Amino acid sequence: MSGRPALPAAPATDDLRELLPAIEPDRQVTDWGRSERVEGLLDATVYEFLYHYWFRCEVEGIENVPATGGALLVSNHAGALPPDAPMIAKAIKEEHPRPRPVHLTVEHFFKGYPGLAMLVNKIGGVPAHPANVHRLLDDEQQLVLVFPEGRKGSEKLYKDRYRLRRFGRGGFVEAAMRARTPIVPIAVLGAEEAMPIFAHVGLLQRLTKLIYFPVTPLFPHFGLLGTAYLPAKFRIRFLEPIPTDQWGERPWDDNGLVQTVAEDVRARIQDELIDLVSHRRSVWLG
């Protein structure tokens, strides 16, 4: 037995990709915990209504979302309960010739909060761990949506609307570079007005252990009704993809390059937002 030839060293990434678990048709939950049933139900009711009738979403540049292979979608983020993520996912489902599921990266907070922990990964949320993003982009060739602003985007006050926050530390660029997948910037108009935040209540945040406790037009004084959105007009603009395989081998080692690309993506989205806002006649009618 000891005469058996030694096994080859670390196999190439392509081999590992083929070794991903096969899809079991009887299952309704993916390995990430995403549930077809829960997502389908929500999609057919709430998202359908919001997308078509409440926000009356208008989509531009859907062809910029690649039909195959992994891609990192990067968008601005706003609203106490941000409606931008489900609307982007719905836009791809409704408008794209080859609709694909969108995986949304969320803060680790959600995995630890009872109730939300059950719900968030059922509807496509994936904890924002670099290893998770890499597996989705590179191994599974999926679409991943990130909000580099994170909670800094969703918790910002109404007076700061459409002013992009800092884009993290460029982790999303590094993730796309490592997976050699394009970055598709997205500018979303309307989410800022759908559930604007006027103030934060620090004490209640500590009591509920939520990431923030906002005061919005309907919350907290109307209780559960506070989860309702105002009917702002939505415009979602998908921008031209930025390929990340143009900088040679291991571009992620170059911190300066990573920061430059992150800043470039941010600037593109900011420019589009200014353009969208300046062409908008009414917040509610577009």
Partner 1 sequence: MRVLVTGLSSFWGGRLAQALERDRSVETIIGVSPEDPTCELERTEFVRVGLQHALLRRIVQAAEIDTVVDARLVVDSLQASPRVAHEANVIGTMNILAACGGPDSPVRKVVFKSSAHYYGCEQDDPAFFTETMRRPHPPRTRLESDIVEAEKAVDGFAERNPAVTVTVLRFCNALGPDLRTSHTELFALPVVPCMLGFDPRYQFIHEEDLVGVLRFAVEHELPGVYNAAGDGVLALSEVASLLGKPPAPILPPWGSSLAAAGLRPLGIRVPDEVRHQLRYGRGLDNRKLKAAGYSYAFTSRETVLKHAEGLRARSLRRGEAEPYRYEREVEDFLRWSPSVRRKGTV
Residue ranges binding partner 1 (CB under 8 A): 1-2, 4, 6-7, 11, 15-16, 19-22, 24, 26-29, 31-33, 35, 108-109, 111-118, 121-122, 126-127, 129, 131-132, 135
Closest CA to 229 of 53, 43, 59, 54: 54
DSSP state of 229: P
Give yes or no for a contact between 100 and 143, defined as CB atoms under 8 angstroms apart: yes
Minimum distance of partner 1 from residue 127's CB (angstroms)? 7
Nearer to partner 1, 115 or 256 (CB): 115
Nearer to partner 1, 35 or 154 (CB): 35
Q: Which two tokens mark 215? A: 């005061």
Nearer to partner 1, 28 or 45 (CB): 28
Nearer to partner 1, 11 or 220 (CB): 11
Q: Classify residue 26 by burial, with Cβ atoms within 10 Å: 0-12, 13-18, 19+.
A: exposed
Minimum distance of partner 1 from residue 41's CB (angstroms)? 15
Minimum distance of partner 1 from residue 233's CB (angstroms)? 36
Say how far residue 154 (Cα) sits from the centre of its chain: 12
d(CA 242, CA 16): 26
d(CA 63, CA 67): 8
d(CA 66, CA 137): 13
Minimum distance of partner 1 from residue 192's CB (angstroms)? 29
Minimum distance of partner 1 from residue 170's CB (angstroms)? 19
Q: Which two tokens mark 132? A: 């998770």
Nearer to partner 1, 18 or 248 (CB): 18
Q: Nearest 5°: phi and psi at 120?
A: -60, -45
Nearer to partner 1, 24 or 256 (CB): 24
Minimum distance of partner 1 from residue 279's CB (angstroms)? 41
Q: Where are the beta strands (DSSP E) in 18-94?
A: 58-60, 71-75
Tell me the C-alpha to C-alpha distance, in Å, between residue 85 and each of 27, 127, 224: 25, 14, 21
